[in-house]
Amino acid sequence: MTDGPEPRTLGLTCTFPVSLERVYRALTDPTTLVRWWGPAGFTTPEIDFEPAVGAAYRLGMQPPEGERFYLVGEFLEVDAPTRLTFTFRWEDPDPDDRETVVRVSLDAVDGRTRMSLWQGPFVTDARLALHRNGWTDSISKLTELLS
């Protein structure tokens, strides 16, 4: 894992032991996405997620304790099975939040799939760290699901 080239930009890279198409499907199929999305202990009981350029999405995330909150955005690029780019904004954001852009790239490497994810820029180091932790947990759950 490495942060992105711009200040307060998150960059993560991981490799999955499955095909490019299988990883892309896990990233874009709503019934699969809810199985791995969110930090450890979180669930995603509400989802409106149909990847298409210009389409909006909305995910309802439920922490282990507390009220549900929502993530919304718009798909900017949908290029199956290698790229997905979307905006990322919290409904009722924290004062230190602003809309960011998430870009996911998939590359086939020796029968495996390398995923590179970038998100940013963030307003504060604390918000960058929060998202790094959330994505790291989510990717761990995705890795388990795909294994």
Q: What is the pLDDT of residues 10-59, one digit of tens each?
A: 999 999 999 999 999 999 999 999 999 999 999 999 999 999 999 999 99
Q: Does residue 24 fall inside a structural domain?
A: yes
pLDDT at 1 exceeding the cut of 50: no
Q: Using alpha carbons only, what angle is made at residue 42 by residues 127 and 45, rounded to the nearest 5 degrees?
A: 115
Q: Does residue 1 fall inside a structural domain?
A: no
Q: Does residue 4 fall inside a structural domain?
A: no
* % residues pLDDT > 70 (the chain): 96
Pairwise CA distance, residues 30 & 55, whole Å: 14
Structural domain containing residue 107: 10-146
Q: Does residue 5 fall inside a structural domain?
A: no
Q: Does residue 3 fall inside a structural domain?
A: no
